[in-house]
C-alpha cells in the first residue's frame, strides 16, 4: 500500500490526540504537534523524489468511496502530481519551521497544546485541499482550513476583537464557498462528475457559457479564501490571531489556496476568456488595493497583511493570464511563502521582544537589540521588493513581464505596484529597525531564543536562494504536465528593458520612503491631519464601510423586521384564531382545557365522518 | 411488497418494549432514581434490538421485518408493519436519541407538574409510538399512531418546562389538530377511493399504490396529507408553533419533538404522498419547491434575529426542514437520498445543539443570549461540544449534515438552478446564525454571572459523545446510510415516474 495517505493522516491523528487528549497531553503536546508536520514533510519528500525519478505523471492512491448516490460518485483519492507536490513541500516545510518557532513563541500560553492541535488540524486540512483529486474533496479541505483559520484567529477569544475577526473571516469565506458549491453542482449537472479527470475530459464539449460560469464561480471561491477584492475585508482583521498563525495560514499557505484553485482548474480557464480576464482584473485591483493600504498602516502585522493581499494579487494576475503565467504564479507563491513567512515570524520576534507592542511608531533602532531578527528580516525585505538576486526578484519580474505580454495597461499596473511595495516595505524597515528609539517604558527589546531564530535563519536563506527554482527553467518544466507548456507572448518592450524598468521603479519607491521616514524623526503618534488618500488607506479603502452600508445594515433591518412580523403577523393571526375558538377568557388554563375538549370533539367528529363514509360506500 | 417474512415479530417487539417499560416505570415508587434507571434500561434494550435488526437488514431486500394482520375488515384496515431503508434509519434515530435524551434529562423533570416517573414514562410511550409510525405500512394504522403521538408529547410539553409551557402546548396541539383533521378527511377519502378495488377497500400502502384514484380526487387527497405533514415538519408559513414549543419544553422534550416527531412530516411526504399520489406530487412540485426555498431562507434569517437560544435553534430547524422538503420534491435520486439522510443527520445535530444549550441554560437559568459571555474560558468542554454541534448544524464538510445538504443541493441543481442557487445562499446565513450565537455566548470577556459556571459533567458528556461521534464518522464514511437509502429512493422515483436528468455533456468514462 502506498504511504501517500500518511501525509494527511499524521497531522490529522496528531490533531485528534492533542484536541481530545485534555490536560494529560499538556506536557508533551507541543512536541508531538511539531513532529507531525516534520514527519509529513519527510513522507512528502520521499514521494517527491519518487515522482521526479519515475516516469508516471502522478502518484495516486484511492482510499475509499465517500459519496455514492445514483450517478453521483465521489471517492477519497489522493493525487500527488507536480502541482500538488510543490504545495505539499511548501505546506509541510514552512509549516514545520513555524511549528518549531511556535514552541518558543507560545511558551507562556497556558493553552499551547490546543494551539498546536489547531495548527495540526490546519495542516491536515490544507494537505487534503491540495492532494484531493475531486472538487468536492477539495471543498472538504477548503472548509477545513477555513475552520482552522477561524479557530486560530479567535485563539485569544476572550478578546472581543479576536472573536469578531474570527467570525468575520468564516462568514466572508462562506460567501466565496457559495461559488465553490455552485461550481461543483454545475460540474455534476454538466459532466456527471466532479473529479479533475472527469471535468477536464468533458471540458472541450462544454458550452462557453458553462465554462465562463464555472470560471467565475471558482473565482468567487478564490476571492474569499485568498482575500481578493471584493472579499478582501477579513484578512487585515485576521491579524488578531497569534503571529505564527499569520505567518503560516494568512501569508504562506491558506490564503494562496485561491491561486491553487485557479491554476488547478487551468482546463476550465483555458476555455473561457471572460473568466480569465476577470481573474486578471481581480488580481490587478487587489495588488494595487493591498499596496495602497500597506502604505498607511502603523501596525506592523497589518502592513504585512496588506502586503500579502497585494502579493497574492500578483499571483492571481499571473494565473489569470493563462499558460504564459501559471508556472510563475506558483513560482511567486513559493518564494512569497518563504519571504513572507520569514517576515511575519520576524515581526513576531520583534513583538516578543517589545512586550507585544505592534505599533511601528513605538519601535525604531531595533537592529542593535535584535541582530538576527534584523538580518533575516532584511533578507525578506530585499526579496519582497525584488532586489536583484533575491528570490522575489526572479518571481515578480517574470509576472510583470507576463503582464506586459498580456496588455500594456496591466503591465504598467503591475509595475506601479512594485514601486508602492518598495515604498511601504522600506517604510516598515526604517520605522522598525532603523530611525531613532521610540520605545515605551515597558519595552526591553532582546533577541529571541534559538528555537525562534533558527527557523528565521532557515527562512531567510530560502528567501535569498528561492530563485534557484527557476534555474534552467526548472519550475516551468516541472509544472508542464499539469498546466501545459509555457506560452510566450509578444512583448511591447524587450524583457531586459522591463527588468531595468522594474528596478528603477523599485528604487524610486524606496527612495521616497527614505526621504519621508529616513531623514526626519518619525512621530511616535500617528499624525491626525493627513491627506484624504491616507485617510482612505487607513480605513482599508472603506471596504468595511461599504460592506456595512450595502449588506450589514440592510440585513439587520431585514431580520429585525422579519422577527417582528413573525411574532405579530403570522403568529398573531394564529393566536387570534386560538382566542376565537377557545373563547375570549384570559385564563390560559381554561383556554387549554377548552382546546383539549374541542380536540376530542373533532376526533369524534372525524370518526363519525369515517363511519358515514363506510355506510355510504356499502350502500353504493 | 416483497420481503422476508420473519417468524419472530421483531418490529412489534421493538415498538411494544418501550410501552411495557412505560407501564413498569409508572408502577415503580416515586422519588427515587430507580424509575430513571429502569427507563434508561428499557431504552438501551430497544437500542440493542434495533441495532441487531439493522445488522440483519438486507439493503436490497425491500420491506423487511414484515408483519401483517387484518384489523378492521370493513375499513380495510390492517396491522401491517415493515421497514425499508428510510424506515430503518428513522427507527434507529428514535432508538439512538431516546437513551441519549433520558441520560441528558436526568434531573429535568424536577419541578414539573407531575413526578419523574410520569415524565420518563411518557418518553418511553413516545418512543414506542414513534417506532410504530415509522414502521406502519397501512395508512389507517399510520394515521392512528400519528395522532396518538400527540398525547405523550402534549403532556411532556405542558407538564415539564418553562413558564409559558401551557400556552406552547396548546398552540402545538391547535396546529396539529388542524393538520390532523385535514389528514383524516384524506384518509376517509382514500377509503372511498379504494372501495372500488376488486379486493374491496384496503388501507395497505401496497394496495393503494396500485389504486387508480383519479387526477382531481388524487390532488385533493394529496393536499390533505401534505398540509398535515407540512405543519408537522414544519414548513413556512405554518411553522410558528415550533419556536414556542421548542423553547418552553425541556431540552430533552425539544429533542424528541424536533429530531424525531417532526420527521414524521417529511417521512410521511416520502412514504405516503409520493407513493400513493405520484401524479399529484409531480403536480404540486413547483409550489412545494418554492415553499421549501422560502423556508430555508426565512428560517435562517429569523434564527439570526433571535435573542433566545432555544428559539434560535428552533428557527434553524425551519431552515433545515426546508432543505429536506426541497430534496424530496427535487425528485432526483441525489435530492431524495440526501433528504432522507438529512432527516437522520438533522436529528443528530439538532439533538446535540438542544442538549448542549440545555446544559448551558440549566447552569445559568436564562435562555437569553445576552446573559452569557466568555463561557469558553470557564467551561472549555461545553464550549467545544457546542461548537462542534454548531458546525454540524451549519453543515461543515467532514461532518455528516454536509453530505446530506450537498446531495440535496446537487440533486436540486440538476432540475432547478434558481431553487438551488437561492437555497445555497442559506449556507452563508447558517454560518451567521451559528457563529454569531457562539461568539456572543462563548467568547469575549466573562459575563459576571457566568464566572463560576461549571464545565460539563461526565453524564452530560456521555449523552453528547455518541451523537458527535456519529456526526463525525458518518461525515467521512456515510456509505452504510446511503447504501440503505439508495434502493428505497430508486423504487420511490420509479413509482413517481421520474428519472434523473442526464449530464448535458457526455464526458468520457472516468473514475469508475
> Inter-chain contact A202–B508, Cβ cutoff 8 Å?
yes
Mean pLDDT over A349-355 rounds to 89
Say how far apart CA A82 and CA B384 lie, in whole Å.
38
Contact indicator for A423, A413 with CB cutoff of 8 Å? no
Q: Which of B203, B388, B490, B510 to mutate to test the interface with A (most CBs of A within 10 A)?
A: B510
> Inter-chain contact A171–B301, Cβ cutoff 8 Å?
no
Each residue's pLDDT tens digit, A555-568: 888 888 888 888 77
Put simply, the chain B residues between 426 and 455 with a CB less than 8 A from any chain A CB are 427-428, 431-432, 435-436, 438-439, 442-446
> Inter-chain contact B445–A206, Cβ cutoff 8 Å?
no
Q: Which of A26, A64, A72, A554 to mutate to test the interface with B (most CBs of B within 10 A)?
A: A72
Neighbours of A416 (CB within 10 A): 15
- Strand (E) or helix (H) holding B465: helix B458-476
Neighbours of A598 (CB within 10 A): 16
For residue A205, the chain B residues in CB contact (below 8 A) are 505-507
Does B405 lie at the interface with A, CB-CB under 8 angstroms?
no
Say how far apart CA A4 and CA B290 lie, in whole Å.
46
Residue A583 pLDDT grade (very low, low, confident, very high; cuts 50, 70, 90): very low
Predicted confidence at residue B457, as pLDDT, reads 92
Put simply, the chain A residues between 228 and 287 with a CB less than 8 A from any chain B CB are none
Burial of B31 (0-12, 13-18, 19+ CB in 10 A): exposed
Say how far apart CA A468 and CA A475 lie, in whole Å.
9
Q: Which of A70, A133, A267, A594 to mutate to test the interface with B (most CBs of B within 10 A)?
A: A70
Say how far apart CA A12 and CA B176 lie, in whole Å.
47
Say how far apart CA B380 and CA B374 lie, in whole Å.
10
What is the per-residue DSSP string for A245-308?
Answer: HHHIIIIISGGGHHHHHHHHTHHHHTT-HHHHHHHHHHHHHHHHHHHHHHHH--BHHHHHHHHH
Pairing of strands B64-72, B77-83: antiparallel
For residue A575, the chain B residues in CB contact (below 8 A) are 171
Predicted confidence at residue A533, as pLDDT, reads 83
Q: Which bin fits A114, alpha (ψ -120 to 50), beta or left (φ > 0)?
A: alpha
Say how far apart CA B396 and CA A492 lie, in whole Å.
48
CA distance B348 to chain A (A): 19
Chain B CA closest to residue A114: B380
Residues in chain A: 620
Say how far apart CA A123 and CA A117 lie, in whole Å.
10
Does B148 lie at the interface with A, CB-CB under 8 angstroms?
no
Say how far apart CA A308 and CA A314 lie, in whole Å.
10
Does B465 lie at the interface with A, CB-CB under 8 angstroms?
no
The residues spanned by each domain of chain B are 277-500
CA distance A86 to chain B (A): 25
What is the per-residue DSSP string for B321-389?
Answer: HHHHHHHHHHTSHHHHHHHHHHHHHHHHHHHHHHHHHHHHHHHHS--BGGG---HHHH-HHHHHHHHHH
Please say whether the dihedral angle defined by the alpha carbons of residues A128, A134, A137 and A138, taken in this order, is positive or negative: positive
Chain A CA closest to residue B412: A185
- Strand (E) or helix (H) holding A62: strand A59-69
SS3 B66: strand
CA distance A608 to chain B (A): 11
Query: Would you write out chain B's pLDDT as a tens digit for each of its 512 residues?
Result: 444 455 789 999 999 999 999 999 988 888 788 888 999 999 999 999 999 999 999 998 889 999 999 888 888 889 999 999 999 999 999 999 999 999 999 888 887 778 888 899 999 999 999 999 999 999 999 999 998 998 899 889 888 888 888 888 888 888 888 888 899 989 988 888 888 777 778 888 888 888 888 888 899 999 999 999 999 988 988 888 899 889 888 999 999 999 999 999 999 999 999 999 999 999 999 999 999 999 999 999 999 999 999 999 999 999 999 999 999 999 999 999 999 999 999 999 999 999 999 999 988 888 899 889 889 889 999 999 999 999 999 999 999 999 999 999 999 999 999 999 999 999 999 999 999 999 999 998 888 888 888 999 999 999 999 999 999 999 999 999 999 999 999 999 999 989 888 888 864 444 43
Angle between helices A495-513 and A371-385 (to 10 degrees): 140
Q: What are phi and psi of A80, to 5 degrees?
A: -105, 85
Does B406 lie at the interface with A, CB-CB under 8 angstroms?
yes
Put simply, the chain A residues between 177 and 236 with a CB less than 8 A from any chain B CB are 177-178, 181-182, 184-186, 188-193, 195, 197-199, 201-202, 205-206, 210
Whether the link from the prior residue into B237 is cis, omega within 30° of 0, is yes
Contact indicator for B226, B261 with CB cutoff of 8 Å? no
Put simply, the chain B residues between 358 and 377 with a CB less than 8 A from any chain A CB are 374, 376-377
Q: Which among A67, A71, A140 is the nearest to B500, CB-wise?
A: A71
Query: Which CA distances in Å does A449 have to A75, A365, A516, B201?
Result: 46, 20, 34, 87
Predicted confidence at residue A588, as pLDDT, reads 45
CA distance A595 to chain B (A): 7
Does B120 lie at the interface with A, CB-CB under 8 angstroms?
no
> Inter-chain contact B337–A69, Cβ cutoff 8 Å?
yes
Cell numbers representing residue A176 in the block: 466565496
Q: Give the number of A-B residue pairs with CB atoms closer than 8 Å.
A: 236
For residue A155, the chain B residues in CB contact (below 8 A) are none
CA angle centred on A174, ends A169 and A178, rounded to 5°? 155
Say how far apart CA B496 and CA B358 lie, in whole Å.
42
For residue B377, the chain A residues in CB contact (below 8 A) are 158
Say how far apart CA B279 and CA A93 lie, in whole Å.
60
Cell numbers representing residue B42 in the block: 428499557
Does B235 lie at the interface with A, CB-CB under 8 angstroms?
no
Residue A175 pLDDT grade (very low, low, confident, very high; cuts 50, 70, 90): very high
**What DSSP state is assigned to residue B129?**
H
Say how far apart CA A100 and CA A31 lie, in whole Å.
9
Say how far apart CA B341 and CA B407 lie, in whole Å.
9
Mean pLDDT over A81-109 rounds to 93
> Inter-chain contact B170–A66, Cβ cutoff 8 Å?
no
What b/e readout covers A468-486, taking b as 16+ CB neighbours within 10 angstroms? Answer: ebbeeeebbebbbebbeeb
Contacts of A193 (CB under 8 A, 6+ apart): A73, A187, A199, A202, B503, B507, B510, B511
Please say whether the dihedral angle defined by the alpha carbons of residues A592, A596, A602 and A605, taken in this order, is positive or negative: negative
Q: Which among B170, B398, B425 is the nearest to A591, CB-wise?
A: B170
Predicted confidence at residue A587, as pLDDT, reads 42
Does A601 lie at the interface with B, CB-CB under 8 angstroms?
no
> Inter-chain contact A185–B413, Cβ cutoff 8 Å?
yes
Contact indicator for B18, B42 with CB cutoff of 8 Å? yes
What b/e readout covers B38-77, taking b as 16+ CB neighbours within 10 angstroms? Answer: bbbebbebbbebbeebbeebebeebbbbbbbeebeeebbb
Q: Which among B75, B177, B507 is the nearest to A602, CB-wise?
A: B177
Predicted confidence at residue A577, as pLDDT, reads 59
SS3 A195: strand
Query: Which CA distances in Å does B194 have to A204, A618, B494?
Result: 54, 12, 22
Contact indicator for B160, B119 with CB cutoff of 8 Å? yes
Does A574 lie at the interface with B, CB-CB under 8 angstroms?
yes
Q: Which among A147, A566, A596 is the nearest to B396, CB-wise?
A: A147
For residue A596, the chain B residues in CB contact (below 8 A) are 173
Each residue's pLDDT tens digit, B45-95: 999 999 999 999 999 888 999 999 988 888 888 999 999 999 999 999 999
Predicted confidence at residue B2, as pLDDT, reads 43
SS3 B198: coil
Each residue's pLDDT tens digit, A397-445: 999 999 999 889 999 999 999 999 999 999 999 999 988 888 888 888 8
Predicted confidence at residue A491, as pLDDT, reads 84
For residue A67, the chain B residues in CB contact (below 8 A) are 403, 406-407, 478, 482
For residue B446, the chain A residues in CB contact (below 8 A) are 158
Does A158 lie at the interface with B, CB-CB under 8 angstroms?
yes
> Inter-chain contact B240–A574, Cβ cutoff 8 Å?
yes
Each residue's pLDDT tens digit, A106-128: 988 888 999 999 999 999 999 99
Amino acid at each position: 500500500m502506498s504511504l501517500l495517505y500518511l501525509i494527511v493522516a499524521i497531522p490529522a491523528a496528531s490533531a485528534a490526540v492533542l484536541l481530545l487528549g485534555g490536560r494529560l497531553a499538556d506536557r508533551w503536546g507541543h512536541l508531538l504537534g511539531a513532529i507531525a508536520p516534520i514527519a509529513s514533510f519527510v513522507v512528502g519528500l520521499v514521494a517527491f523524489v519518487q515522482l521526479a525519478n519515475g516516469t508516471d505523471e502522478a502518484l495516486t492512491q484511492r482510499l475509499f468511496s465517500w459519496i455514492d448516490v445514483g450517478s453521483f460518485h465521489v471517492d477519497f483519492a489522493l493525487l500527488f502530481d507536480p502541482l500538488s507536490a510543490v504545495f505539499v513541500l511548501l505546506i509541510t516545510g514552512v509549516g514545520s519551521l513555524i511549528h518549531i518557532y511556535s514552541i518558543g513563541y507560545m511558551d507562556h500560553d497556558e493553552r499551547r497544546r490546543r494551539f498546536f492541535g489547531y495548527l495540526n488540524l490546519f495542516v491536515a486540512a490544507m494537505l487534503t485541499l491540495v492532494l484531493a483529486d475531486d472538487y468536492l474533496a477539495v471543498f472538504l479541505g477548503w472548509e477545513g482550513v477555513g475552520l482552522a483559520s477561524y479557530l486560530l484567529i479567535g485563539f485569544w477569544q476572550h478578546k472581543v476583537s479576536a472573536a469578531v475577526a474570527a467570525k468575520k473571516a468564516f462568514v466572508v469565506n462562506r460567501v466565496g464557498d457559495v461559488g465553490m458549491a455552485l461550481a461543483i453542482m454545475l460540474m455534476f449537472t454538466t459532466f456527471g462528475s466532479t473529479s479533475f479527470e472527469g471535468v477536464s475530459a468533458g471540458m472541450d464539449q462544454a458550452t462557453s457559457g458553462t465554462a465562463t460560469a464555472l470560471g467565475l464561480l471558482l473565482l468567487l471561491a478564490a476571492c474569499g479564501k485568498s482575500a481578493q477584492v471584493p472579499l478582501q475585508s477579513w484578512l487585515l482583521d485576521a491579524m488578531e490571531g497569534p503571529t505564527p498563525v499569520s505567518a503560516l495560514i494568512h501569508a504562506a499557505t491558506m490564503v494562496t489556496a485561491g491561486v491553487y484553485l485557479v491554476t488547478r482548474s487551468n482546463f476550465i480557464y483555458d476555455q473561457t476568456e471572460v473568466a480569465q480576464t476577470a481573474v486578471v482584473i481581480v488580481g490587478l485591483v487587489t495588488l494595487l488595493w493591498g499596496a495602497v493600504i500597506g502604505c498607511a498602516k502603523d501596525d506592523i502585522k497589518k502592513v504585512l497583511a496588506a502586503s500579502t493581499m497585494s502579493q497574492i494579487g500578483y499571483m492571481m494576475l499571473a494565473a489569470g493570464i493563462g499558460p504564459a503565467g501559471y508556472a510563475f504564479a506558483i513560482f511567486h507563491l513559493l518564494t512569497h511563502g518563504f519571504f513572507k513567512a520569514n517576515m511575519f515570524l520576524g515581526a513576531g520576534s520583534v513583538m516578543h521582544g517589545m512586550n507585544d507592542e505592534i505599533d511601528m511608531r513605538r519601535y525604531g533602532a531595533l537592529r542593535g537589540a535584535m541582530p538576527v531578527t534584523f538580518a533575516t528580516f532584511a533578507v525578506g525585505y530585499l526579496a519582497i521588493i525584488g532586489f536583484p538576486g533575491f528570490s522575489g526578484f526572479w518571481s515578480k519580474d517574470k509576472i510583470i513581464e507576463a503582464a506586459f505580454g498580456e496588455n500594456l495597461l496591466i503591465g504598467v499596473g503591475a509595475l506601479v505596484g512594485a514601486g508602492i511595495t518598495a515604498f511601504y516595505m522600506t517604510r516598515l524597515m526604517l520605522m522598525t529597525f532603523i530611525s531613532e528609539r521610540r520605545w515605551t517604558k515597558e519595552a526591553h527589546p532582546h533577541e529571541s531564543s534559538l528555537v525562534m531564530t533558527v527557523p528565521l535563519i532557515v527562512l531567510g536563506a530560502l528567501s535569498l536562494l528561492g530563485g534557484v527554482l527557476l534555474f534552467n527553467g526548472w519550475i516551468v518544466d516541472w509544472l508542464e504536465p499539469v498546466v501545459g507548456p509555457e506560452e510566450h507572448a509578444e512583448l511591447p518592450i524587450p524583457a531586459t528593458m522591463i527588468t531595468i524598468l522594474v528596478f528603477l521603479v523599485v528604487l524610486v519607491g524606496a527612495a521616497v520612503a527614505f526621504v519621508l521616514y529616513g531623514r526626519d524623526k518619525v512621530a511616535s503618534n500617528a499624525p491626525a491631519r493627513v491627506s484624504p488618500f491616507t485617510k482612505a488607506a487607513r480605513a482599508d479603502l472603506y471596504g468595511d464601510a461599504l460592506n456595512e452600508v450595502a449588506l450589514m445594515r440592510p440585513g439587520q433591518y431585514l431580520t429585525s423586521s422579519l422577527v417582528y412580523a413573525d411574532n405579530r403577523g403570522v403568529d398573531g393571526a394564529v393566536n387570534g384564531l386560538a382566542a376565537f375558538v377557545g373563547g375570549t377568557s384570559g385564563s390560559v388554563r381554561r383556554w387549554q382545557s377548552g382546546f383539549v375538549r374541542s380536540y376530542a370533539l373533532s376526533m369524534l367528529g372525524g370518526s363519525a365522518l369515517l363511519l358515514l363514509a363506510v355506510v355510504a360506500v356499502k350502500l353504493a | 411488497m416483497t420481503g422476508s417474512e420473519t417468524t419472530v415479530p421483531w418490529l412489534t417487539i421493538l415498538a411494544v418494549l418501550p410501552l411495557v417499560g412505560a407501564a413498569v416505570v409508572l408502577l415503580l415508587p416515586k422519588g427515587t432514581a430507580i424509575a430513571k434507571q429502569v427507563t434508561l434500561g428499557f431504552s438501551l434494550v430497544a437500542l440493542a434490538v434495533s441495532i441487531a435488526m439493522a445488522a440483519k437488514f438486507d439493503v436490497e431486500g425491500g420491506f423487511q421485518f414484515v408483519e401483517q394482520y387484518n384489523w378492521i375488515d370493513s375499513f380495510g384496515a390492517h396491522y401491517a408493519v415493515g421497514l425499508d431503508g428510510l424506515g430503518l434509519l428513522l427507527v434507529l434515530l428514535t432508538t439512538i436519541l431516546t437513551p441519549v435524551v433520558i441520560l441528558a434529562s436526568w434531573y429535568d423533570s424536577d419541578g414539573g407538574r407531575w413526578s419523574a416517573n410520569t415524565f420518563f414514562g411518557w418518553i418511553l410511550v413516545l418512543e414506542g409510538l414513534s417506532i410504530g409510525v415509522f414502521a406502519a405500512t397501512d395508512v389507517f394504522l399510520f394515521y392512528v399512531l400519528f395522532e396518538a403521538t400527540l398525547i405523550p408529547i402534549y403532556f411532556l410539553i405542558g407538564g415539564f418546562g418553562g413558564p409559558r409551557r401551557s400556552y406552547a402546548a396548546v398552540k402545538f396541539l391547535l396546529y396539529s389538530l388542524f393538520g390532523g383533521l385535514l389528514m383524516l378527511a384524506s384518509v376517509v377519502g382514500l377509503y372511498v377511493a379504494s372501495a372500488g378495488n376488486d379486493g374491496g377497500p384496503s388501507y395497505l400502502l401496497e394496495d393503494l399504490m396500485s389504486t387508480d384514484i383519479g387526477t382531481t380526487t388524487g390532488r385533493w387527497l394529496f393536499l390533505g396529507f401534505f398540509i398535515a405533514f407540512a405543519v408537522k415538519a414544519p414548513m413556512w408559513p405554518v411553522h410558528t408553533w415550533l419556536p414556542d414549543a421548542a423553547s418552553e419544553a425541556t431540552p430533552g422534550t425539544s429533542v424528541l419533538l424536533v429530531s424525531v416527531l417532526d420527521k414524521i412530516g417529511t417521512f410521511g411526504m416520502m412514504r405516503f404522498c409520493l407513493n400513493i399520489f405520484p401524479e399529484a406530487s409531480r403536480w404540486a412540485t413547483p409550489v412545494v419547491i418554492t415553499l421549501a426555498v422560502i423556508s430555508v431562507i426565512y428560517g435562517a434569517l429569523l434564527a439570526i434575529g433571535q435573542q433566545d437560544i432555544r428559539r434560535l435553534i428552533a428557527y434553524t430547524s425551519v431552515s433545515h426542514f426546508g432543505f429536506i422538503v426541497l430534496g424530496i420534491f427535487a425528485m432526483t435520486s441525489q435530492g431524495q437520498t440526501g433528504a432522507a439522510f438529512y432527516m437522520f443527520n438533522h436529528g443528530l445535530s439538532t439533538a446535540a445543539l438542544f442538549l448542549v444549550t440545555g446544559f448551558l441554560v440549566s447552569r445559568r437559568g436564562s435562555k437569553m443570549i445576552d446573559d452569557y459571555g466568555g463561557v469558553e474560558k470557564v467551561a472549555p468542554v461545553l464550549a467545544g461540544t457546542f461548537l462542534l454541534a454548531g458546525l454540524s448544524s451549519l453543515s461543515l464538510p467532514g461532518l455528516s449534515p454536509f453530505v446530506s445538504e450537498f446531495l440535496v443541493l446537487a440533486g436540486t441543481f440538476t432540475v432547478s438552478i434558481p431553487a438551488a442557487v437561492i437555497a445555497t445562499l442559506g449556507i452563508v446565513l447558517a454560518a451567521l446564525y451559528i457563529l454569531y450565537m457562539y461568539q456572543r455566548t462563548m467568547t469575549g470577556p466573562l459575563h459576571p454571572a457566568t464566572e463560576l459556571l461549571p464545565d460539563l459533567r461526565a453524564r452530560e458528556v456521555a449523552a453528547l459523545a455518541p451523537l458527535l461521534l456519529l456526526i463525525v464518522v458518518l461525515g467521512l464514511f456515510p456509505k452504510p446510510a446511503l447504501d440503505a437509502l439508495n434502493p428505497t429512493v430508486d423504487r420511490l422515483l420509479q413509482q413517481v415516474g421520474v428519472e434523473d436528468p442526464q449530464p448535458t455533456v457526455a464526458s468520457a468514462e472516468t473514475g469508475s
